[in-house]
């Protein structure tokens, strides 16, 4: 991108460089993002709370003070299940209308300490679950943006902000990223500290990132892990890619199948070793296993809300909690053990592969905004605690975005970002245009 | 115990039975506990906040309403790092003086829904760390009660309340239990849902229980895991006990060594198969490994406080955060992997044993209250995510309590409680009297 790029379209790292070199101001950048939001928000409805004057005040503070770090002056969005000390945190629930936490969530505090401007809070499904807000898909307002990080996906895709935080318990980062045609990254479980997150299901909840550029994911990852930012680099050796249809392939729609096949072919043509990767039979239990953990842990984590505010809980979440309460502790513990067994088994199965390629989601964003889509293709990997990224990989039959999902072994996040870089730069899997 | 037992000395399960059968009222029980607190609190200082009128109002609500569950009308204490919607939650830090969360922590909500009266909040070291409050050891006010669940340990030992919640990141449940001569139970990592806990170090933080009776631990465990309460039972087969001195044996003082030897001898005499259990060399790294995780995760979870309230953070915690910030992410991830490897290895090593016996702590509670004691003997097992219990096992050379610690494999919590029951009932390891 160049200085001719409209400011609101700049990526996080690019904007940070331009601010650091004095070519643009934080105020100009934030103003451009706010103007974009003013223009589009009545349709997209990505933000649960945003205060333009306060955002601009933060930006002017950056412009007049010394650099605070690698994100100095750049705006980000924060999913509204993450605590912010200076903005409401309502979690998509009427129970917490207007709530002001006493602190910032760890990731928010670390981003702020590195200089980020917190532009506002993005719409979340109720408690990061299945009951969506009013956000629409920027590519077609009659369709869902996905969820539960609905606002984060839509705001980034609509160029309102270069990066936004999400959380993923099933498919809540990667699905909105895929449906909105941007990148979603869920790191290895536990990578980004969860202090200040309202838990959905603590053995699954993973903080992730939605952005338009790979470099931006790497930069924010470095900030949140107290590391030097290293831009993704080309892998040194031939990339060994396993194409994994998974036991869910019957759910993959033509657009998702075609995207995976295109990406696999392009990778093979560009020189990767590409072969099929089959998950052995025990893995086909994992959708049910994840549902057990999700329901039981939601029932426990929302025990206060269930006791005191039951009538304000949506039918979808009520059903999940009731299923959780009907599950025995023996069943829950058995599910934990199945998950752990499969995690270790996947470590072994990965042996001959650097990364896997699999569908990001069933297909294009479904019509309507009452249903945020099926989490199966993302939730499997959430349960397995592996790092995963969704890359935009063309459009489906309805001209809506479809993604491909790339997965690395646990703790292989750097390899994952490098492999994604290769797939974009060498194999040409890079967006929505074809 | 009988009806002649002073009410404030009743256990949780016993009191619940007496209330359920109409033999005592919740108001009488709570009044007795409050009277004990009034008598002793100026010395013990176990409570960070307590409102007698409000506690009595809860009790009268129980007495005049239908039974809400298996804890109907019985009072419990709650460590002040656990959120309560109706009481301050100050986390032992001046930063959060007077803070009122919007919700109850999961464990508090579940206990309340089962009928418990929340008597008050118990003193915690700052953010469940190393900087103690004013609590003293009920056996000798010149000595520490241990920490970080200092108030929970002291309140239960001093018969102010039958059971209190604690959290353990290093040794914060078992050490105060051992120092105060009561039982401390840390379940398998993840057993009690952590929603509403202020994180210290999320890969370690485990909610645990302090009580005087084994049955009470089993009852609260059932409530928090949506299970039927099953009192600990005698193991069917001969118990296979490994006596584990650990690589920390040089830290074990004569009182702790003698207690372990007494318990092992008594178990052998009572019919158990008892032999030495040696942790292989890689385990001797685990104290350092735990410190890496603890420091890095504290630095991340307290990022907001570090940025906004640094001058209100204690020197001990400042040091921990600074060490965390000086640790690279590579070192942190390596530590996570060492911990995981050792957890799996311990699963295997456990093969020939049902439980391990090991010291609860270095020895008796040290003099003074500025230092809450060494967490090494507890922290090793916290890192390993195994369930563990400290049982009172006599007194040391200074006539202060010493404990023995019993450990089962991950998810073997029922076996652990059964083995503890056997050790108390058959081998006579049952308290401070000899």
What distance in Å separates the CA atoms of residue A204 and residue A289, rounded to the nearest whole number? 11
pLDDT > 50? residue B338: yes
Whether B166 contacts B210, CB under 8 Å: yes
Task: Say yes or no to pLDDT of A433 above 70.
Answer: no
Q: Is residue B164 part of a domain?
A: yes
| Residues 215 through 234 of chain B touching chain A, CB cutoff 8 Å | 224-227
Closest Cα in chain A to B412 = A333
CB atoms within 10 A of CB B390: 33
- CB proximity A108 to B under 8 Å: yes
Closest alpha carbon within chain A to B192: A300
Residue A375, pLDDT > 90, answer yes
Are B113 and A303 in contact (CB < 8 Å)?
A: yes
Pick the closest to residue B402 from B248, B250, B175, B158 (CA basis): B175
Domain contains B144: yes
Residue A229's CB is within 10 A of a number of other CB atoms, namely: 16
**Nearest by CB: A190 against B102, B196, B203:** B203
- Number of domains into which chain A is organized: 1
- pLDDT at position A142 over 80: yes
Q: Each residue of B204-213: b (16+ CB within 10 Å) or e?
A: bbbbbbbbbb
Q: Can the peptide bond before residue B85 be classed as cis, meaning omega within 30 degrees of 0?
A: no
**For the segment B137-169, what is each residue's pLDDT rounded down to a tens digit?**
999 999 999 999 999 999 999 999 999 999 999
In a domain, B119, yes or no: yes
What's the mean per-residue pLDDT of chain B? 97
A263-to-A240, A278, B431 alpha-carbon distances in Å: 14, 18, 67
Pairwise CA distance, residues A142 & A59, whole Å = 34
Active site residue A79: yes
pLDDT at A324: 98
Q: Which residues of B21-54 are buried (b: 16+ CB within 10 A; e: fewer)?
A: eeebbbbbbbbbbbebbeebbeebbbbbbbebee
Residue A1 has pLDDT above 70, yes or no: no
> What pLDDT, on a 0 to 100 scale, did the predictor assign at position A59?
98
Handedness of CA A98, A102, A107, A110 (dihedral sign): positive
Interface contact flag, A193 B203, Cβ < 8 Å = no
Q: Name the band, by pLDDT with cuts 50, 70 and 90, for residue B283.
A: very high
Is the model's pLDDT at A434 over the cut of 50? no
Cβ contact A110–B300 (<8 Å): yes
For chain A, the average pLDDT equals: 97
Angle at A38 between CA A32 and CA A44, to 5 degrees: 110
What gap in Å lies between CA A192 and CA B284, rounded to an integer? 28
Rounded-to-10 torsion of CA A283, A285, A288, A292 = -80
Reduced to 3 states (helix: H, G, I; strand: E, B; else coil), residue A119 is strand
Encode pLDDT of A147-164 as tens digits.
999 999 999 999 999 999
Lookup: tokens for A98: 């207007």
For residue B432, what pLDDT band results from cuts at 50, 70 and 90? Answer: confident
Among candidates B359, B364, B424, B416, which has minimal Cα distance to B386? B416
Instruction: Count CB atoms within 10 A of the CB of residue B311.
Output: 7
- Note whether B108 contacts A: Cβ–Cβ < 8 A: yes
Write down the catalytic residue from B26, B48, B79, B186: B79
Contacts with B, A 389-418, CB within 8 Å = 411
pLDDT at B3 over 90: no
Contacts of B336 in chain A (CB under 8 A): 190, 411
A153 part of a folded domain: yes
CA neighbor of A76 nearest in space, from A229, A224, A210: A210
In a domain? residue A264:
no
- In this complex, which of B96, B190, B296 lies closest to A102 when CB atoms are compared? B96
Q: What are the CA-CA distances from residue B147 to residues B135, B171, B206 (Å)?
A: 9, 8, 14
CB contacts, 8 Å: A104 with chain B: 303-304
Question: What is the mean pLDDT of the segment spanning B2-25?
Answer: 93
Dihedral-angle region of residue A401 (phi above 0 means left; psi in -120 to 50 means alpha; beta otherwise): beta
Among chain B residues, CA nearest to A90: B102
DSSP B279-295: --GGGGGHHHHHHHHHH
Q: Which of the four pLDDT bands, split at 50, 70 and 90, describes residue B434?
A: very low
Residue B148 is a catalytic residue = yes
Q: Average pLDDT of B123-146? A: 98
Supply φ then ψ for residue A406, to 5 degrees: -115, 140
Interatomic CA distance for residues A414 and B89, integer angstroms? 39
CB proximity B80 to A under 8 Å: no
Task: Indicate the helix (H) or strand (E) that contains A406.
Answer: strand A401-407
Contact B195 A99 (CB under 8 A): no
Nearest CB among B85, B103, B202 relative to A193 is that of B202
Confidence at residue B146, expressed as pLDDT on a 0 to 100 scale: 98
ipTM passes above 0.90? yes
The parent domain of residue A68 ranges over 7-224
Residue A148 bears catalytic tag? yes
Which distant-in-sequence residues (6+ apart) come within 8 Å of B388 by Cβ?
B174, B185, B186, B378, B381, B405, B406, B407, B408, B416
Average pLDDT over residues A135-156: 98
pLDDT digits (tens, 9 = 90+) for B37-82: 999 999 999 999 999 999 999 999 999 999 999 999 999 999 999 9
Instruction: Answer yes or no: is A384 within a domain.
Output: no
Neighboring chain A residues of B333 at a CB cutoff of 8 Å: 411
- pLDDT over 80 at B407, yes or no: yes
For testing the chain B interface, which of A297, A300, A348 should be mutated: the one with the most B CBs within 10 Å? A300
Cβ contact A186:A212 at 8 Å: no
Tell me the pLDDT band of B219, cut-offs 50, 70 and 90.
Answer: very high
DSSP output for B187-202: -STTSS--TTB--S-T
Report how far residue B58's alpha carbon sits from residue B60's, in angstroms, rounded to the nearest whole number.
6
Place B2 in a pLDDT band, splitting at 50, 70 and 90: low
Q: CB-based contact (8 Å) between B345 and chain A? A: no
Report the distance separating Cα A80 and Cα A105, nearest Å.
11
Q: Does residue B338 sit within a domain?
A: no
Crossing angle of helices B315-325/B286-301, nearest 10°? 100
> A203 to chain B: nearest residue by CA?
B190
Burial-class residue B323 by CB neighbours within 10 Å (0-12, 13-18, 19+).
middle
Distance of alpha carbon A82 from alpha carbon A89, whole angstroms: 7
Chain B: give the shortest CA distance to residue A171, in Å. Answer: 21
- For A191-229, write each residue's pLDDT tens digit: 999 999 989 999 999 999 999 999 999 999 999 999 999
Element (H, E) at A250: none
pLDDT of residue B430: 74
- Asked if residue A56 has pLDDT above 50, the reply is yes
Q: Which of B108, B296, B303 sits opposite A109 (nearest CB)?
A: B303
Residue B395 lies in a domain: no
pLDDT number for residue B4: 78
A333 and B CB contact within 8 Å: yes
Contact call for residues B243 and B357 (beta carbons, < 8 A): yes
Confidence of residue A176 (pLDDT cuts 50, 70, 90): very high
Q: Is the pLDDT of residue B1 over 60?
A: no
pLDDT of A98 above 70: yes
Mean per-residue pLDDT for A276-297? 97
Helices and strands (H, E) in chain A, number of each type? 14, 11
Set A93, A106, A172, A360: catalytic member: A172
Cα dihedral: A36, A38, A42, A45 (round 10)? 60
Nearest CA in chain A to B189: A203
Find the CATH number of the domain harbouring B73.
3.90.1300.10
pLDDT band per the 50, 70, 90 thresholds, residue B431: confident
Q: Of A201, A223, A179, whose CA–CA distance to A81 is shortest?
A: A201
């Amino acid at each position: 991108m160049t200085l001719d790029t409209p400011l609101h379209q700049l990526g996080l790292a690019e904007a940070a460089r331009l601010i650091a070199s004095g070519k643009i101001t934080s105020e100009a950048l934030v103003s451009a993002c706010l103007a974009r939001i003013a223009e589009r928000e009545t349709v997209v409805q990505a933000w649960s709370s945003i205060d333009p004057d306060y955002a601009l005040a933060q930006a002017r503070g950056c412009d007049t003070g010394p650099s605070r770090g690698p994100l100095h002056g750049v705006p980000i969005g924060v999913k509204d299940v993450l605590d912010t000390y200076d903005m409401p945190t309502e979690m998509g629930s009427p129970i917490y209308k207007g709530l002001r936490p006493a602190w910032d969530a760890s990731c928010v505090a670390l981003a702020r300490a590195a200089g980020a401007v917190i532009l506002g809070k993005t719409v979340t499904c109720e408690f990061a679950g299945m009951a969506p807000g009013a956000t629409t898909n920027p590519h077609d307002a009659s369709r869902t943006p996905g969820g539960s990080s609905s606002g984060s996906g839509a705001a980034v895709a609509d160029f309102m902000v270069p990066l936004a935080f999400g959380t993923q318990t099933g498919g809540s980062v990667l699905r909105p990223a895929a449906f909105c045609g941007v990148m979603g990254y869920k790191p290895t479980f536990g990578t980004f500290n969860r202090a200040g997150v309202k838990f959905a299901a603590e053995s699954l909840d993973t903080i992730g990132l939605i952005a338009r550029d790979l470099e931006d994911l790497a930069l924010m990852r470095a900030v949140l892990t107290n590391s030097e930012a290293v831009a993704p680099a080309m892998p040194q050796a031939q990339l060994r890619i396993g194409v994994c249809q998974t036991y869910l392939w019957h759910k993959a729609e033509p657009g998702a199948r075609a995207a995976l096949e295109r990406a696999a072919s392009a990778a093979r043509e560009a020189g990767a070793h590409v072969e099929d990767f089959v998950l052995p039979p025990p893995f086909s239990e994992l959708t049910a296993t994840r549902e057990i953990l999700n329901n039981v842990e939601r029932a426990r984590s929302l025990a206060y809300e269930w006791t005191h505010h039951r009538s304000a809980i949506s039918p979808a979440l009520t059903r999940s909690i009731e299923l959780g309460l009907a599950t025995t502790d023996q069943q829950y513990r058995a599910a934990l053990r199945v998950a752990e067994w499969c995690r270790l088994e996947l470590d072994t199965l990965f042996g001959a592969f650097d990364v896997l390629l699999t569908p990001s989601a069933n297909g294009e964003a479904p019509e309507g905004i009452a249903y945020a889509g099926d989490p199966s293709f993302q939730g499997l990997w959430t349960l397995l605690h592996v790092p995963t990224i969704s890359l935009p990989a063309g459009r489906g039959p309805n001209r809506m975005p479809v993604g491909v999902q790339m997965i690395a072994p646990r703790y292989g996040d750097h390899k994952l970002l490098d492999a994604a870089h290769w797939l974009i730069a060498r194999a040409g899997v890079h967006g929505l245009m074809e």
